[in-house]
Amino acid sequence: MRFELTLNRTTKQRMLPMDYQYYISAWIYKVLKQADADFANFLHNKGYGKGDSDTKLYKLFCFSRLNFGKPKMWKEKKLFEISTHEIKLQISFDVNEVACNFIKGLFMAQEFYLGDKFNGIDFTVANVAALSEPEFTETMRYRLQTPWVVSYQKENDKYPSYLSPKDELFEGLSMKHLIEKYNNTHHDLFIEPDQIKVKRLNDFKRSGFVIKPDTPQQSRIVGNLFDFELYAPVDVHKMIWNAGVSEKSSSGFGWVEVSTDYMTSSK
């Protein structure tokens, strides 16, 4: 389920690091931990999954970019200067309805600081609104709002490579990830490889951001922005709507919206 949070600035601070996604992810974990340490630790350390030693475990939530209008950009300082006092943020969780109602209450009236030790903004959550789902069918068209990350690490490589759609491994690995993500977290339906297909609808743009800034683990993760058509069981569409389509969705990658072109043509 998706929620839209209305954030109000509470001080005169206006500068926000451009790579703010890591700080949002850390804040989400902090909110969960304040209310239920076991639930937060489960999400952060394991996510959902079968727990097999050879199976990746997934953290089934995602979040959008901040909607703050058109800020002034200080590219050399990697900062946004934000003038608006009301900012929107959407977050989503692929959990059952009971858990969603619990989560909605956690975020209401939260007060928090978003940013690093030099630049950031104090916010309060003024409102939390549950958003309705689109009408899902087996074939849907989506527009990526945050990059779709597909990584590949060779046996002797120290760091993974972040693939683009031009790489021959991109499509196969992206579909493998979705199938594993679904099969390891949903047990009412088992997805076979021939049940899911993706088609890119336009050119792609490379995009990414830094995670864990100012730490020894700092790294820049790079993905791809494009529109795509996905053929898959309806439950898979619901999963990517609520948990992102990408690797590293809990860091804000792989947030999708239904393509407006598709919605217009399907009426």
Between CA 18 and CA 23, with CA 20 as vertex, the angle to 5 degrees is 160
Whether 187 sits among the annotated catalytic residues: the reply is: no
Which residue, among 211, 201, 8, has the nearest Cα to 111 in the 3D structure? 8
CB atoms within 10 A of CB 119: 20
Place of tokens 């989560």: 103
For helices 234-243 and 170-183, the axis angle rounded to 10 degrees is 90
Which residue, among 78, 80, 209, 67, has the nearest Cα to 147 in the 3D structure? 209
Whether 20 sits among the annotated catalytic residues: the reply is: no
Give 243: exposed, middle or buried? Use CB within 10 Å, 0-12, 13-18, 19+.
buried
Tell me if 213 sits within 8 A of 22, measured CB to CB.
yes
The one catalytic residue among 20, 23, 29, 142: 29
Tell me if 90 sits within 8 A of 64, measured CB to CB.
yes
CA–centroid distance for 234 within its chain = 20
The one catalytic residue among 44, 58, 152, 186: 44
Locate 46 and state its tokens. 């394991």
Which residue, among 107, 87, 110, 101, has the nearest Cα to 1 in the 3D structure? 101
Tell me if 232 sits within 8 A of 138, measured CB to CB.
yes
Task: Give the residue numbers annotated as catalytic, written as ranges.
Answer: 29, 44
